[in-house]
């Protein structure tokens, strides 16, 4: 069956058994939106360089219900085996469904439950108000598709004034032992007033390296007054893995948010990072590093929407593109009429290491207030000749000098990951990619 | 150990070095002085193999090998070190990691075992004391936010770690106050051995009070027009570069 039929069938099956609760209505509205907007074609301006259609049209296997997988905790550890697991709260998704049994959370400062539970329990009012807000900034139906088939999602809450004792790692595991997979994980996070949260998302694959997988992920994070969020996403699943990720951060009180995106491998990776300042005096930092080779394509679309005054935002995205890899950066900054004294900065820097690598960058500033400071910049270039000579004059081979400079170039993004074991892990991955001897 | 014969070189179509002859033996300290534009930094750059400089004629032999045939990294590994006049800042490159890579690539070239972490740290501590460089400076990115004096001391520190046979110091004293010059000079002097040599490129005589040269050469219009002992430096300081220009001018007239 073609993908529309497939999705329709899935939607109907899901609604058949779950259609009457609050989530059912949300799904129904989202499915209408999906039908209206569909999967974008190349004619959609926001997808001009990213042909996602063919990826969605592949024959993916969508695991029908959560819990179908026979994975053990050992399998998960083997797949991802990230350092720092012992000092982290680990929340595991298998094929897009949250798995309580594979997760390990014993932190009383962090509330963890499925979205279904949250939508019918104490928090149901809050969930109804806040779930499903992310697709406001897109003109395609991909986020709506995730909402339309919401199942086995995760709700995280950090209560007022509290900080979880450990960083939170979300592992998205694709179990490909029985075939390809299309998964749609969904996360909703509430960060209460004065609360803090360190949240890392990373994916991994178990099974055949030659299977394709596609993941359409949406995480919505609501940050309340005085709260502090540090979010990071690492994408390194190899050339058969495609992902559309949406990170939607709403700062509803004066607060601090930071999101760091590290993309190292994949087939087509499209990342939508959206920050909405719904209160005055918010601060947000968006960082990205894409270090690519082969034919990996990474498309980072960011939105910073200044609805209120005196907010500060800073975006720094850096690319290192080798071989036939391609990159896209589109950074939208909206400064609405009442958002006086906005400070919004955006910078995209790219280094191309081969003749075939290309990057397309487009800043888009829409400014409707008159007392603001905004700047944007984009560079595409090669390494600094003087720096290369300096290193060679100390005995480094040209390859070694280049590798050292590329690593140095990546460092300021890498440093934004504050959880030490993970930062070292990514540091090692990047050093390996750049063929730097780590000894 | 260094034998420069009739070296001519230039950049972007301009000929700057017009036939340099110079011989440096092991254990010696040579100083090259000259007015701005005489070609001092060009000479240092050409010896180090800086790209964009063209050699138009002549030869340079270093430790019996053809220097001009070697890539910059080969020259470094063979034992040639250039202390830059304006050392580059490289944010994100850890000074310590950089020096370890440099030391070990040179050792590999020479067929020596790489230094392990412990041995490397020991050597670093030793050399840090030599130039009064603090651990805090070395844990930062290379030269990032360093003052002029700190950058120059970092150059000498790298020299101490790499143990070159010939060190070329390109206007190492420029922008430094007396105390900084003293520290740098002290470091250079402590590194002298019977089998290495130093070539000081300098505009002012001041540095030569602290690193006493065996030979002083005056560069003018791309040629060495006078050579002498350390007293030549004093003569220059008293009379200024004008007298060199006059002498050179007279020589031109005589030639014509």
Give CA–CA dist B27/B4, Å, rounded: 17
Instruction: Tell me A338's DSSP state.
Output: T
Asked if residue A328 lies in contact with residue A298, where contact means CB atoms within 8 angstroms, the answer is: yes
Closest residue in chain A to residue B82, using alpha carbons only: A393
CATH superfamily placement of domain B2-44+53-227: P-loop containing nucleotide triphosphate hydrolases (3.40.50.300)
H/E segment holding residue A268: strand A268-277
Task: Find the CB nearest B76 among A387, A393, A408.
Answer: A393
Give CA–CA dist B43/B26, Å, rounded: 19
Instruction: Tell me A135's DSSP state.
Output: G
Interface of A with B (CB under 8 A): 384-387, 389-398, 400-401, 404-405, 407-412, 437, 439
Q: What is the pLDDT of residue A13?
A: 84
Interchain CB distance below 8 Å, B93 and A404: yes
Chain B residues with CB inside 8 Å of A391's CB? Answer: 98, 102
Nearest chain B Cα distance for residue A388, angstroms: 10
pLDDT digits (tens, 9 = 90+) for B13-58: 899 999 999 999 999 999 999 888 888 999 999 999 999 999 999 9
- Coil, strand, or helix at residue A50? coil
Interface of B with A (CB under 8 A): 48-51, 71-73, 75-77, 81-82, 84, 87-88, 90-93, 97-99, 101-102, 105-106, 109, 114, 141, 158, 162
Query: Encoding tokens for residue A423?
Result: 């930062």
Dihedral (Cα; A249, A252, A255, A257), 10-degree rounding: 0
The domain ranges of chain B are 2-44+53-227
Test the B interface: residue of A291, A386, A394, A415 with most B CBs within 10 Å: A394
Give CA–CA dist A228/B182, Å, rounded: 50
Asked if residue B118 lies in contact with residue A435, where contact means CB atoms within 8 angstroms, the answer is: no
Chain A residues with CB inside 8 Å of B93's CB? Answer: 404-405, 407-408, 411
Query: Encoding tokens for residue B172?
Result: 């190492």
The domain ranges of chain A are 3-279, 385-439
HSE-CB at A387 with a 13 A cutoff on CA atoms is 21
pLDDT digits (tens, 9 = 90+) for A17-73: 765 567 888 999 999 999 999 999 989 999 999 999 888 888 777 665 665 567 888
Interchain CB distance below 8 Å, A394 and B114: no
Closest residue in chain A to residue B140, using alpha carbons only: A408
Calculate mean pLDDT across residues A293-299. Answer: 96
Q: What is the pLDDT of residue A438?
A: 42
Chain A with chain B: Cβ pairs closer than 8 A? 76
Residues of chain B with pLDDT under 50: none
pLDDT digits (tens, 9 = 90+) for A221-248: 999 999 999 999 999 999 999 999 999 9
Asked if residue A234 lies in contact with residue A413, where contact means CB atoms within 8 angstroms, the answer is: no
Asked if residue B31 lies in contact with residue B169, where contact means CB atoms within 8 angstroms, the answer is: no
Vertex A405 angle, CA A401 and A407, to 5°? 120
Chain A residues with CB inside 8 Å of B11's CB? Answer: none
Q: Is the pLDDT of residue A2 over 90?
A: no
Q: What is the mean pLDDT of chain A?
A: 91
Interchain CB distance below 8 Å, A400 and B101: yes
Q: Which residue has the tokens 């955006």?
A: A346
Q: Which residue has the tokens 């290192």?
A: A320
3-state SS of chain B is CEEEEEEEEEECCEEEEEEEEEEECCCCEEEEECCCCCCHHHHHHHHHCCCCEEEEEEEEEECCEEHHHCCHHHHHHHCEEEECCCCCCEEEEEHHHHHHHHHHHHHHHCCCCCCCHHHHHHHHHHHHHHCCCCHHHHCCEECCCCCHHHHHHHHHHHHHHHCCCEEEEECCCCCCCHHHHHHHHHHHHHCCCCCCEEEEEECCCCHHHHCCCCEEEEEECCEEEEEECHHHHHHHHHHCCHHHHHHHHHHHHHHC
Query: Encoding tokens for residue A386?
Result: 């003087």
* Percent of the residues in chain A that have a pLDDT greater than 70, as a whole number: 96
Task: Find the CB nearest B102 among A387, A394, A409.
Answer: A394
Give residues with Cβ within 8 angstroms of B122, minimum separation 6: none
Nearest chain A Cα distance for residue B181, angstroms: 23
Chain B residues with CB inside 8 Å of A399's CB? Answer: none
* Percent of the residues in chain B that have a pLDDT greater than 70, as a whole number: 96
């Amino acid at each position: 069956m073609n993908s529309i039929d497939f999705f329709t069938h899935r939607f109907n099956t899901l609604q058949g058994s779950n259609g009457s609760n609050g989530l059912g209505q949300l799904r129904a509205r989202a499915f209408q939106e999906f039908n209206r907007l569909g999967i974008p074609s190349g004619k959609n301006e926001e997808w001009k360089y990213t042909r996602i259609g063919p990826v969605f049209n592949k024959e993916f296997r969508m695991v029908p219900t959560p819990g179908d997988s026979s994975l053990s905790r050992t399998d998960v550890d083997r797949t991802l085996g990230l350092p720092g697991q012992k000092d982290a709260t680990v929340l595991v998704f298998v094929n897009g469904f949250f798995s309580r049994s594979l997760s390990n959370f014993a932190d009383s400062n962090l509330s963890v439950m499925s979205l279904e539970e949250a939508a019918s329990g104490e928090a149901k009012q809050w969930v109804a108000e806040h779930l499903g807000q992310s697709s406001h900034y897109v003109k395609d139906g991909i986020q709506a598709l995730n909402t339309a088939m919401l199942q086995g999602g995760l709700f995280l809450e950090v209560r007022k004034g509290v900080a979880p004792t450990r960083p939170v790692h979300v592992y998205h595991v694709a179990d490909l032992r029985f075939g390809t997979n299309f998964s749609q994980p969904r996360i909703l996070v509430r960060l209460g007033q004065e609360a803090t949260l360190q949240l890392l998302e990373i994916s991994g694959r178990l099974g055949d390296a030659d299977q394709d997988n596609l993941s359409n992920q949406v995480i919505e994070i609501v940050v309340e007054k005085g709260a502090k969020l540090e979010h990071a996403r690492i994408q390194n699943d190899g050339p058969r893995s495609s992902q559309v990720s949406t990170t939607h951060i709403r700062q509803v009180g004066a607060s601090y948010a930071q999101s760091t995106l590290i993309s190292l491998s994949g087939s087509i990776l499209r990342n939508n990072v959206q920050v909405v300042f719904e209160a005055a005096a918010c601060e947000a930092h968006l960082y990205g590093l894409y270090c690519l080779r082969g034919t990996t394509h990474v498309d980072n679309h960011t939105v910073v929407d200044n609805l209120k005054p005196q907010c500060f935002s800073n975006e720094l995205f850096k690319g290192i593109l080798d071989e036939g890899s391609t990159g896209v950066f589109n950074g939208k900054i909206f400064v609405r009429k009442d958002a006086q004294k906005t400070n919004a900065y955006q910078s995209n820097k790219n280094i191309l290491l081969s003749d075939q690598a290309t990057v397309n960058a487009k800043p888009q500033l829409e400014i409707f207030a008159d007392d603001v400071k905004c700047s944007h910049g984009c560079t595409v270039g090669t390494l600094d000749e003087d720096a290369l000579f300096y290193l060679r004059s100390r005995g480094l081979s040209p390859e070694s000098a280049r590798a050292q400079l590329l690593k140095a170039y990546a460092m300021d993004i890498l440093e934004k990951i504050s959880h030490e074991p993970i930062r070292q892990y990514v540091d090692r991955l990047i050093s390996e990619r750049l063929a730097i001897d780590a000894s | 150990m260094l034998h420069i014969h009739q070296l001519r070189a230039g950049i972007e179509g301009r000929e700057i070095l017009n036939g340099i002859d110079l011989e440096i033996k092991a254990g010696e300290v040579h100083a090259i002085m000259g007015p701005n534009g005489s070609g001092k930094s060009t000479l240092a750059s050409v010896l180090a193999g800086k790209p964009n400089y063209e050699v138009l004629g002549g030869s340079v032999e270093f430790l019996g090998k053809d220097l001009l045939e070697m890539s910059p990294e080969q020259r470094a590994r063979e034992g040639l070190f250039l202390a830059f006049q304006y050392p580059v800042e490289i944010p994100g490159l850890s000074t310590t990691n950089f020096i370890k890579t440099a030391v070990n690539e040179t050792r590999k070239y020479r067929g020596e075992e790489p230094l392990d972490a412990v041995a490397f740290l020991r050597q670093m501590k030793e050399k840090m004391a030599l130039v009064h460089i603090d651990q805090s400076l070395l844990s930062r990115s290379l030269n990032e936010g360093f003052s002029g004096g700190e950058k120059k001391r970092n150059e000498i520190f790298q020299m101490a770690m790499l143990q070159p046979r010939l060190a070329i110091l390109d206007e190492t004293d420029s922008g430094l106050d007396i105390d900084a010059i003293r520290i740098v000079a002290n470091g250079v002097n402590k590194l002298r051995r019977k089998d290495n040599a130093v070539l000081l490129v300098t505009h002012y005589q001041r540095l030569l009070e602290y690193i006493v040269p065996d030979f002083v050469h005056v560069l003018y219009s791309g040629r060495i027009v006078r050579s002498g002992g350390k007293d030549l430096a004093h003569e220059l300081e008293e009379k200024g570069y004008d007298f060199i220009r006059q002498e050179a001018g007279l020589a031109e007239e005589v030639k014509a």
